[in-house]
Amino acid sequence: MEAFRSLMSFLMTPVCYEIFFTDFNFLDVPCLKAVISKCLGYGIIMGAVLVKVPQIQKLLKSSSAVGMSFSSVLLELYAITSMCAYSIARSFPFSAWGDSFFLLIQVTIIACLVQYYRGKPQLAIVFLVIYSVILFVLVSGITPTNVLAALQASNMPAIVIAKMIQAAESIKNGHTGQLSAITVFLTFIGSTARIFTSIQETGDNIVILTYIVSTIANAVISFQIIYYWKATEEYVKNSMKKQQ
């Protein structure tokens, strides 16, 4: 039972454990919400470990960054980094923000690949070095919490601008290029689920509003993936013919 209690401690508080497994009251609404939120949070984290991998694979396979906006990727990385740093400073549970940690790594790789496939490998290295220094400053405790809160609040316009830039790129090209449909749809689903987990686990209005805005912005890109589906397939076919 002790081993089971220890395992359940990742999903519920001691109070909820007593309510569920001592009183056998499995319909307690507050505890049910908390447990669902924890399970959903860890599920999102597990998904985030691989969510950007299809995008990375697509870039590597095509050796092209056509359709990818570096400015958009950079703004997305800014938003994710701010979320990580702010969550660490506020001591939020890992289940509430752990996906941002894995997304941070993957989006950094994407940013470097976009620069590399645009014929700027030196800039990719410079970017990686500068970003690593900035990340250390933000998460090491050097940066005041009020500054991190301001960065987190600025996520909302950053996310909107990032997605608008990407949307404009797709409209200009008439297709979504090397954007991965799997990554876009999973990102949309993840941000939607994060609204609920943020309400339950952080209660932080800045974080909650950020995910609401992110969900709306991701919905726009998801719509473009569907709208330009045939045009993108045609573009990919023509690109493959040229490579052959």
If DSSP states are collapsed to H, E and C, what string results for 168-234?
HHHHHHCCCCCCCHHHHHHHHHHHHHHHHHHHHHCCCHHHHHHHHHHHHHHHHHHHHHHHCHHHHHH
Contact 39, 195 (CB under 8 A): no
Domain count for the chain: 1
Name the pLDDT band for 224 (thresholds 50, 70, 90).
very high
pLDDT at 67: 82
pTM (predicted TM-score): 0.79
How many Å from the N-terminal Cα to the C-terminal Cα in the chain?
62
Residue 177 lies in a domain: yes
pLDDT at residue 191 tops 80:
yes
Q: On the CB side of 150, how many CA atoms lie within 13 Å of its CA?
A: 6
Residue 72 lies in a domain: yes
Taking residue 129's Cβ as centre, other Cβ atoms within 10 Å add up to 9
Sign of CA dihedral 166, 213, 107, 225: negative
Task: Compute the distance between CA of residue 211 and CA of residue 193 in angstroms, rounded to an integer.
Answer: 9
Segment 129-146 shows an average pLDDT of 94
Residue 200 lies in a domain: yes
Residue 56 lies in a domain: yes
Lowest mean pLDDT among 5-14, 111-120, 204-213, 225-234: 5-14
Report the share of the chain in percent with pLDDT over 90: 48
Residue 110 lies in a domain: yes
Residue 151 lies in a domain: yes
Task: Compute the distance between CA of residue 105 and CA of residue 81 in angstroms, rounded to an integer.
Answer: 10
Task: Compute the distance between CA of residue 180 and CA of residue 57 in angstroms, rounded to an integer.
Answer: 9
pLDDT at residue 156 tops 90:
no
For residue 12, the SS3 value is: coil
pLDDT digits (tens, 9 = 90+) for 79-114: 999 999 999 999 998 988 999 999 999 999 999 999
Residue 41 lies in a domain: yes
Question: Strands (DSSP E) along 7-57, which ranges?
Answer: none
Residue 18 lies in a domain: no
Task: Compute the distance between CA of residue 63 and CA of residue 36 in angstroms, rounded to an integer.
Answer: 41
Domain that holds residue 79: 30-229
- Per the structure block, which two tokens stand in for 227? 């709208």
